[in-house]
Structure 1
Amino acid sequence: MQQKRSAFLYILLWAVQLLVAALFLLSGVMKLGYPITKLAALYPWTGQVSAAFVRLMGVVDLAGGLGLLLPSLLRIKPSLTVWAAIGIVILMASAIVFHVSRGEQSVTGFNVVVALLAAVVAWGRYRKYPVTPRAQCI
C-alpha cells in the first residue's frame, strides 16, 4: 500500500511540475512573440505597461518553465528545479501585489493557485522526491 501511495505521489509531482512548466513556457512564448495589441486583448495589463517590460516578463516566464523541467529531466544540477520553483512562487507573489495595486484583485486567484503548485514542486523536489544528479564521467 505504501509503495502504491509513493508511486502515486511521484507521478503527481511530475504532473504538477509539467503543468506549471507548460504554463510558463506558453506564457513566455506569448509574451515574447505576440503583438502587444493581441496580448492586451487577453491580458489588459500588457497594454498598459511598456513593451520592454512585457518582453522581459516573457524571458522570465521562459526561464522559469525551462528551469522547472530541464534540470530534472536531464539530471544535470537538478537542485536548480527547486530554485526555479521558488522563483516562480516569488514571481507569483509579486504578480499578486502588482494586480492588487491596480485594483485587479479578481485575477489574483490564478496567481495564488500557481504559487501553491510551484511550492508543491519546490517541496517535492527538495524533500520528498529529489532527482539524483547524473553520475559524472571522468
Structure 2
Amino acid sequence: MSALRAGLGALWIVAALLAAVYLFGGAFKMVTPKERIAAAGCSGRWVEDFSAGGVKAIGAVEVLAAVGLILPAVLDVAPVFVPLAALGLVLLMAGAAAVRLRRQEFKLVAVDVVYLLLAAFVVWGRFGPESFLG
C-alpha cells in the first residue's frame, strides 16, 4: 500500500512541476514579443523558425496543458483530461526536440527529452496504475 501511495504522490508532484513550468513558460510566450524571446538566448533561438502568432499559439497550448494537468483532477470533473494533457505535452516536446535537433541545439534537446519523459510518466501513471477512470 505504501508503494501505491508513493506512486500517487510522485504523479502529483511531477504533474504539479510540469504544470508550473508550462504555465509560466506558456504565459511568457503569450505576452512577450518574439524578438525579445529570441534575444534572451537562454532557450535557444527556436522562435526564429516560427511566426509571432505561432509562438503565441505554442504558449497557449502550454498554458492549456498546464491547466489540464491539474484542474480536472482537483475538481473531479472529466479527470481523463489529465493524461490527455500530458500526452499533448509529450507530442509538443517531441516537436520541440525535432526543431532543436534540426537547429543543432543539442544541449537543449536533452532538456526537451527530460520534459518529454516526465510528461510520459504522467501519461503512463494516469492511464495505467493510478487511473482516475478506475
Provide the TM-score with structure 2 as the length reference: 0.89
Partner residue, 1:39: 37
CA distance in 2, matches of 1:52, 1:97: 20
Shift of 1:14: 0.4
Partner residue, 1:72: 73
SS at match of 2:77: coil
2:90, 2:119 within 8 Å by CA — same for their partners in 1?
Answer: yes
CA distance in 1, matches of 2:2, 2:81: 28
Partner residue, 1:115: 116
SS at match of 1:78: coil
Shift of 1:102: 1.4
Provide the TM-score with structure 1 as the length reference: 0.87
CA distance in 1, matches of 2:115, 2:72: 20
Q: How far does the alpha carbon of each residue in 1:65-124 deviate from its partner, in whole angstroms, 9 at most, with x for none?
A: 111111111111111111111111111111111111112122101110111101110111
Partner residue, 2:9: 11
Shift of 1:132: 5.2
Partner residue, 2:57: 56
CA distance in 1, matches of 2:122, 2:91: 14
Q: How far does the alpha carbon of each residue in 1:46-83 deviate from its partner, in whole angstroms, 9 at most, with x for none?
A: 25532111111111111111111111111111111111
Which stretches in structure 1 are left out of the alignment for 5+ residues? 134-138
Q: What stretches of structure 1 move > 6 A for 4+ residues in a row?
A: none
Q: Which amino acid is the alignment partner of residue 127 of structure 1?
A: G
SS at match of 1:128: coil
Q: CA RMSD in A?
A: 1.7
Which stretches in structure 2 are left out of the alignment for 5+ residues? none
Partner residue, 2:85: 84
Partner residue, 1:27: 25
SS at match of 2:128: helix
Q: Matched residues, percent identical? A: 34
Larger radius of gyration: 1
Query: Are residue 95 (structure 1) and residue 93 (structure 2) matched?
Result: no
